[in-house]
Structure 1
């Protein structure tokens, strides 16, 4: 055992020496471009949407780019109220502010208040994504120590996967360099340039981590450089089916040698409505052929999901789709004018925003969001109300014109709402017989109504009734009793 431990120690030292030697061989030391990031974050309390949770502190990593900004992960600075950075090898911390952020791709850019701290630093340059099995070096400040960590590994594979921070389906790269909490936001280098940004590790696996690959980083940086903000990842909002069944191909009259994806259903508000139809076969997008298994060629010998053929384009671009329809090949054009979230009735996880709410007669209304469901804690998808979980990731019916789903989250007990004290987590379908399109619409319906009673249609055919005058008169007492700062969120106060 002693011999094995000594051998392990020697091998570890040799590995560290090789990694440091690889860094030192570069023209400039990339470690001098690194920052440790310190944050104080305060998240909203979705069970009490007018309140905030207790502040928490965190750390991450970042690197200076040649545009004079510091790149890091969005999850490092998510919901942050105060951010500081410290240069590698120096003791002082410096205040920074967020310039741009994209939570979908887990990327953010920071600018120091005092830009003179960058004067003698050599920035890093974004390079290309190297071939798989190429050697890479991950730099960062993992927890367990205060100094910079340098680890060596290889680029294992490149493919689409769910980003842990946002749940978004996007191109990612797997590396086998050791990744630990605190490494997030640090650069992954190949031959002295950035091949990607450390994103996440896998807790139950040794030396398996993921980085945001250079093509995704470049798409983010180019978009921000264009107008100072990231405009989003375009989506066409349709579901497709693989064409690996010979019988299905024959049914669709697909010619031999043609491959693609059958369109199963379009979102009612898809940008492709009226252009692409159900049962069309998408053969290619912007000249990129789609295989029967739904993949496209990323590079020679590497494939990924066909969504990348859309995602690689900026918002507003118009691109050609080659379709197989009624036994013939046609080409149509689609303008990518909507972000992935534009058509979602239940928004994905959101950051840096506070939830909307409205209190009327002690009834608390709020939009249904993934963050609200996640407030049920660990494994929320098994603990949150089942009647609400069913709305996740679904495509609404064609006639469903709602902008969002509004729920009655719970009731603040008061004499004005006797009989309804136990009602909670119910979808509000209508107010006074009119379908609710959004929380702002619900407020409008309630406050513009003239009938002495307000009737809320909730759940599966139930109704809740309040006397309008009594509900209005009870506001001050309810606000005092339950320490409500206001009866509605800031956006609804300003009429936004």
Structure 2
């Protein structure tokens, strides 16, 4: 019995000696230990020497190409999916110089492919007043583009090129976007084609566009966007388009300040639907001239509410007049600006408070021409509701006046 125990101990010692001398000394045992204990392995490196006139240099090099982490893999996947759908747009206009006569001027922007028929969506301000528009695909092939239709009010333009093997972008929805959601912008900033930047959604807010036009529910992002990004896609983490990069808040500096804005893709879808059905955008309109009021003005003129917008004038034959809304009858001056008082005070639309002109514009633009909107108004001291069938505004009104 004792002899058996002695033999067992000798066997265990021999096995331990063999493992430590053959595996541990060679380093083959370490990976097994690392895997068993979930210990990260050290970076695999090697040393390379180079000798020249200035002496010998020893460089530490990676033994193998590095692998990408999960975040990097997602960035790469978004870029590969979307790049073929993004185009660069060059617009050429002719200006007239006193000494040299006509002088061509070029502007650059971005856009993205909608279908295999060559339709491309971009901003109107990218191609506005251009005599020639040229589109460059991601494979560097260039094509002359035709401007199909524009919507200056929404700052959108539809182009078309004749090119084979086009890759359309995948459009997502812009409803339900959340602040903090990761977004990507691909475009042509400063002429640097195929540039991708990344950030998050910083806010969803209504702003004024490049021409003073309202952009409802604009997507604010800190993804770096610069001149040349206009018209390009803003993408979600699946590489789907959620907006059209449009505007930079630059405080006078013509470059990124970390605050950029995009038109929501749902707005663009509505515009494209109108383009397809009617050949133009049927913009809904209430056909009124309004004046916003606050607590001070309301108290001065004895209004029953300290917020809302006063109807100064209704457009003859327009939606408001047909619904029975009343304009003002008494002219007063706000500084040097004439204001007509005595008209209906609009305080809500479809149950949502109206505190300023932007609120009313947003409520109207959430509908289509021909839709019925319910307005809550005060006529004198009497509160009432009026249903209005929105008209089709064929011509854009002056900003801040008619809606």
Matched, 1:167 2:219: no
Gaps of 5+ in 2: 1-67, 327-341
Query: In structure 2, the residue corresponding to 1:42 is in which secondary structure?
Result: strand
Q: Which residue of structure 1 lines up, in the alignment, with residue 45 of structure 2? A: none
Q: CA RMSD in A?
A: 3.5
Q: Which residue of structure 2 lines up, in the alignment, with residue 294 of structure 1? A: 356
Aligned length: 308
Q: 1:17 to 1:32 in 2, by over 3 A?
A: farther
Alignment partners' CA distance in 2, 1:54 and 1:64: 31
Matched, 1:222 2:276: no
| Among candidates 100, 103, 107, match of residue 58 of structure 1 | 107
Shift of 1:111: 1.5
Q: 1:226 to 1:290 in 2, by over 3 A?
A: same
Alignment partners' CA distance in 2, 1:83 and 1:279: 48
| Among candidates 223, 228, 231, match of residue 182 of structure 1 | 228
1:51-100: per-residue Cα shift (whole Å, max 9, x none)? x9533222211111258521111111112222221221x13211221222
| Among candidates 368, 371, 374, match of residue 320 of structure 1 | 374
- Contact kept, 8 Å, 1:234 with 1:340, in 2: the verdict is no
Q: Which residue of structure 1 lines up, in the alignment, with residue 89 of structure 2? A: 37
Alignment partners' CA distance in 2, 1:394 and 1:250: 21
- Contact kept, 8 Å, 2:215 with 2:263, in 1: the verdict is no
- 1:388-399 equivalences in 2 (<5 Å): none
- Contact kept, 8 Å, 1:60 with 1:184, in 2: the verdict is yes
Runs of 4+ more than 6 Å apart: 16-19
- 1:393-408 equivalences in 2 (<5 Å): none
Matched, 1:212 2:260: no
Higher percent of residues as strand: 2
1:98-130: per-residue Cα shift (whole Å, max 9, x none)? 22211221111111123x242xx2432142241
Alignment partners' CA distance in 2, 1:246 and 1:343: 26
Query: In structure 2, the residue corresponding to 1:329 is in which secondary structure?
Result: strand
Matched, 1:137 2:184: yes
Query: In structure 1, the residue corresponding to 2:281 is in which secondary structure?
Result: coil
- Contact kept, 8 Å, 2:283 with 2:365, in 1: the verdict is no
Q: 1:343 to 1:76 in 2, by over 3 A?
A: closer
Q: 1:26 to 1:206 in 2, by over 3 A?
A: closer
1:25-47: per-residue Cα shift (whole Å, max 9, x none)? 459611121111122223699x9
Gaps of 5+ in 1: 1-15, 296-303, 349-392, 396-496
Q: 1:18 to 1:77 in 2, by over 3 A?
A: farther
Query: In structure 1, the residue corresponding to 2:377 is in which secondary structure?
Result: strand
- Contact kept, 8 Å, 2:325 with 2:344, in 1: the verdict is yes
TM-score by length of 1: 0.55
Query: In structure 2, the residue corresponding to 1:307 is in which secondary structure?
Result: helix
- Contact kept, 8 Å, 2:116 with 2:165, in 1: the verdict is no
1:158-192: per-residue Cα shift (whole Å, max 9, x none)? 2222211x221232332111111111110001133
Q: 1:342 to 1:273 in 2, by over 3 A?
A: farther
Query: In structure 2, the residue corresponding to 1:188 is in which secondary structure?
Result: strand
Q: 1:249 to 1:23 in 2, by over 3 A?
A: farther
- Contact kept, 8 Å, 1:266 with 1:273, in 2: the verdict is no
Matched, 1:281 2:345: yes
Which structure is larger by alpha-carbon Rg, 1 or 2? 2
Alignment partners' CA distance in 1, 2:71 and 2:132: 34
TM-score by length of 2: 0.66
Shift of 1:235: 4.9
